[in-house]
Amino acid sequence: MTRSVDNAGRPFNRTLFTIVVLIGMFASNINQTILAVAQPTLMQAFHIPASSAQWLSTSYSLIIGVMTPVTAWLADNKSSKTLFEWAMGFFLLGTTLCYFANSFAALLGGRMIQAVGGALLAGIGTTMLYSVYPLGQRGTVSALMGLVFGLAPAIGPTFSGWVIDRFEWHDIFGILLPLLAVAFVLGLYGLRSVVMVNRAKLDWPSVFLSALGFGSLLYGFAVVGTRGWLDWQVLGGIFCGAVLVAWFVWRQLHIATPILKMTIFKAPTYRIAVVITALSQIAFAGFEFVLPLYLQTVRGLSAMNSGMCLILGALVNAAMSPVTGYVFDHYNAPRMIKAGLLIMLLGTIPFAFVTAQTPVVTVVLLYAIRSLGFSAVQMPITTLGINVLPPELISHGSSGNNMMRYTASAIGTAILISVQQNVANTQAGHVATLADPQALLGGYHVAFALVAVLLIIALVTALRLSTKDKEARA
């Protein structure tokens, strides 16, 4: 079962192929949260506020969200092996620039180049794995990617915290360089072109509408923390972005060669899956950004210790991924997804009531409960949505899902940080600092409560998933 054939009919080792793709996807996903606990350190190093430091994480998700629609066209028109190697090349370049960065602008530039590689990996990596595993083994794909999508972002804060406490922040990127280099070299020998090429002319107006639309939308949300909800840049960015994104969608529906085929949204299960993916991603990525800040600013934990508080959740996620993959292939996936959302919700609600004296072990256990639920949701719901699409639409279904996931991550993180800061500032009567722990705590309470509300919406949406055996296995 480890031998497969590429587009030219030549056999290759599927195990090596899968390992290389997963390494690339791991690098892309760990970089989403790798700077979460490094925020205070970077703020001191570059003398910048939290709202500016946020851009190091937000811009990463922003660029991936902007580029993802184009990756569907790239997957249809270019060799999947070539695209993957280009992605790893961008990652190597961006990570190298981050390692040698001596200013905030240089670090931000390196992160943005990393994000270009991440966007390509997010689109082509998922499509490549779904293309080499038959429908009956998609649960295996779900389990493998669940390890990456769940474990990598959770390990990110712990890893960066360990590095900062023992070395310096540059080494966060330096330690990753050998892994990326190995993946790049292995890709030259182990990867094959497995996604069918269906060449079509690139519609440049769609590219510009996508970039400007998603870019403006995400920019508007990203500057909320510094400018407030009534600022003209915030309102203008969100309004212009929404109009351009709507125009982009309209154009995809009315041209012969769209870069993202909107027919994927005709499948009810896929539509529901995308909504749940977006909501659960905010509840996961946004939460992982806020929780370390609570642990450091209110509880006084070091970057290393705040990251260690997330490691049990990462291990739970890793341990559960094979289980959820097996359940997906052999039992009822929609019921598992609904149960996972409920578990995430039950693990989130208590965070809205944490105090400066709440035992750290309680925080660790609650986070582990959330991770248990997340492992039963994110990749299973993605796979459930992809499974209802025909083979020729897999690349577009993957890109559509990733577009929503990364866009939701960027917008959600920005909103949660904005809400936390605004509430803290209001309670403090001025710009809240480390000298105002109670005001900061009040902000965290509201941010955690907002995550719980999003999970309730996701759970209600999941009730529309069919639990009939035939549809559940798709």
- Domain assignments of the chain as residue spans, ordered by start: 3-202+259-473, 203-258
> Per-residue pLDDT tens for 353-409?
998 889 999 999 999 999 889 888 887 888 888 888 887 777 788 778 877 877 787
d(CA 449, CA 445): 6
pLDDT of residue 472: 40
Would you place residue 36 in the very low, low, confident or very high pLDDT band (cuts 50, 70, 90)?
low
Task: Please tell me which residue, 440 or 322, carries the higher pLDDT value.
Answer: 440
Predicted confidence band of residue 50 (pLDDT cuts 50, 70, 90):
low
Question: What average pLDDT score do residues 224-250 get?
Answer: 84
* Sign of the CA dihedral running 415, 95, 159, 405: positive
**Structural class in CATH, domain 3-202+259-473:** mainly alpha
**Amino acid letter at 211?**
A
- Answer whether 0.85 is exceeded by the pTM: no
- For residues 439 and 408, the answer to whether their CB atoms sit within 8 Å is no
Report whether pLDDT(474) > 50. Answer: no
Residue 348 has a pLDDT of 93
Residues 369 and 346 sit within 8 Å (Cβ to Cβ) = yes
Q: Pairing between strand 11-13 and 3-5?
A: antiparallel
Instruction: Give the residue with greater pLDDT, 341 vs 57.
Output: 341
CA 56 to chain centre: 14
Q: Specify the pLDDT at position 1.
A: 43
- The answer, yes or no, to whether residue 416 has pLDDT greater than 80, is yes
Asked if pLDDT for residue 214 goes beyond 60, the answer is yes
In the chain, what is the greatest distance between 2 CA atoms, to the nearest angstrom?
A: 68
The dihedral formed by the CA atoms of 397, 403, 406 and 410, expressed in degrees to the nearest 10: -160
Of residues 445 and 402, which shows the higher confidence score? 445
Burial label, 382 (beta-carbon count in 10 A; 0-12, 13-18, 19+): buried
Closest CA to 32 of 58, 65, 9, 50: 58
Give the SS3 label for residue 358.
coil
- Which residues have C-beta within 8 Å of that of residue 271, sequence separation ≥ 6? 265
More confident residue, 457 or 140: 457
Strands (E), 224-324: none
